[in-house]
A and B are shown apart, each in its own frame.
Chain A
Amino acid sequence: MAPVDWMHLLHQAFFGAVAAAGFGVLFNFGLKALAWCAAAGALALCVRTLGLDQHWSLEAASFVAAVSASICANLFRRPLGPRGNAVALAGCIPMVPGAFFGQAILGALAVTTPHPENAAVILTAIEYLLRVLFTLAAIGAGLAIPAYLLKHREF
């Protein structure tokens, strides 16, 4: 088991919390719910970072992080109420690989130039695109599976 870099873990958790709370403001969460969004973001990034430190793939680490956020949102149903799923989702937003998608498209544009430099460009573009698709799917599945299994799907 690889040793944990605590400073890096704290860094990721802190900026995960800030990003989740920032997106919470954009999504018009109330002030109390914003604190929960920040906590969900910190938890998700903590779990994902620990997974990546153990050399898991980004997809696997994102999946386990989303499952953790969803389970915690279900465990805290009493204070959170029906907004639990929304809070878990806001917490997972910092894990959405938007930058990879941009790089995949820009890579694809490089492939379509009259004289593409080398095959590595094509491979990188495909890698980024697949990574985006699989990571998004992993986050969606990770959020949904606990909610379905725990059957806390009240309106």
Chain B
Amino acid sequence: MTDDPVRLKHRELEKIAMAALRVARILVECGARVRVVHQGASLVARGLGVEPVGLRTGYASQEITVHSGGNTITRMMTIGPHGVNHRLDHAMRRLAVRVSKGGMTVEEVEAEIDHLVKTTPRHPLWLVSLAVGLACAAFGRLLGIDWLAFGPVFVGGGLGQALRMYLHRRGVNSYVLAAVIAFTAASIAGASARLAGSTTTNLAMMASILLLVPGVPATNAQTDIMDGYPSMGSARAVSVLMVMGFATCGVWLAEALLGVQ
């Protein structure tokens, strides 16, 4: 088969567009702001020798249009569940900077992305559960729980986080997951705090679900709007409201179960 130079150019452009989109997608999934996502994708595209004409990032998908010579193509990629992963986020940013300096092929960039996704370290499940339980208990002290409720909030928050990671891996819807975790964590914390003789059972139940508070998306929503991306900012704000709404349903059920007012 003879190579058609125009088609070959399109294929090269497509590979570059998809590599830039992959970096952008991972950045979004790691909790980066849209400005950072666009900067990352642009650095990759330019480093691979093409000019990004336009980028659009939505909550569930993103698009890029790249241009080189006389050819322009637009490609789209879906985005997976949004989370927060600081180390992978910054590994991707460093990769984008490296690519922008030139000298890497698309294949090398793709291989490096695969490598980073596989090897960027994550804290073990037990450590995350322990840390989140402690964070909830500390949050509880800031809210005014008594010392008798400290342990119950620690246990409720920690077990809630362990269950969250288990259900997340099983692909449970993130809003349903928020309700289930809130119910479980608040029930455990509330029942244990009451058994321990705490006078702040209600606050303890609230503190145990603070692992669900979407603080990063909430502040990103504002920053995205300030940066000129109101659609993504609004989508993030709505998702924050949805998570908190479902979490409150879980607490409400737990309060009804325990008879807490």
A residues with a Cβ closer than 8 A to B are 11-12, 15-16, 18-30, 33, 45, 82-83, 86, 89, 92-94, 96, 98-99, 101-103, 105-106, 109, 136-137, 139-141, 143-144, 148, 155
Contact among A28, A29, A155 for B43, CB-based, below 8 A: A155
- Contacting residue for A141 out of B122, B134, B213, B222, CB 8 A: B222
Contact check, A26 vs B141: say whether CB atoms are below 8 A apart: no
Knowing A22-B132, A25-B131, A30-B87, the reply to whether A102 touches B247 (Cβ < 8 A) is: yes
The stretch from B2-10, B167-175, B204-212 touching chain A is B204-212
Closest to A86 in B: B86
Given the interface contacts A45-B142, A96-B218, does A29 sit within 8 Å of B87 by beta carbon?
yes
Determine whether the beta carbon of B206 is less than 8 Å from that of A28. no
Most buried by B among A26, A30, A109: A26
Interface membership of B80, Cβ < 8 A: no
Q: B residues bordering A, Cβ < 8 Å?
A: 31, 36, 39-40, 43, 84-90, 93, 96-97, 122-123, 127-128, 131-136, 138-139, 141-143, 161, 203, 206-207, 209-213, 215-216, 218-219, 221-223, 226, 244-245, 247-248, 251-252, 255
Given contacts A12-B142, A106-B248, contact A89 B39 (CB under 8 A): no
- B247 with A19: CB separation less than 8 A: no
Evaluate contact between B219 and A89: CB separation under 8 angstroms. yes
Distance, CA A140 to CA B219, complexed state (A): 5
Classify the secondary structure of A's interface with B.
helix
Q: A18-B138, A28-B87 are in contact. Are A102 and B206 (CB under 8 A)?
A: yes
List the 8 closest pairs (A to B, CB-CB), nearest first.
A22-B135, A98-B213, A140-B222, A25-B131, A18-B138, A105-B248, A19-B138, A15-B138
Q: A21-B131, A144-B226 are in contact. List 5 more A-B contacts (CB 8 A).
A: A93-B215, A99-B143, A102-B248, A140-B219, A155-B39
Across the interface, which residues of B come within 8 angstroms of A92, CB to CB?
215, 219
Q: Is the CB of B96 within 8 A of A155?
A: yes
> How far apart are the CA atoms of A137 and B210 in the complex, in Å?
18
Complex: how many Å from CA A141 to CA B218? 12
CA distance A16 to B139 in the complex (A): 7
Bound together, the chains give a CA A33 to CA B87 distance in angstroms of 10
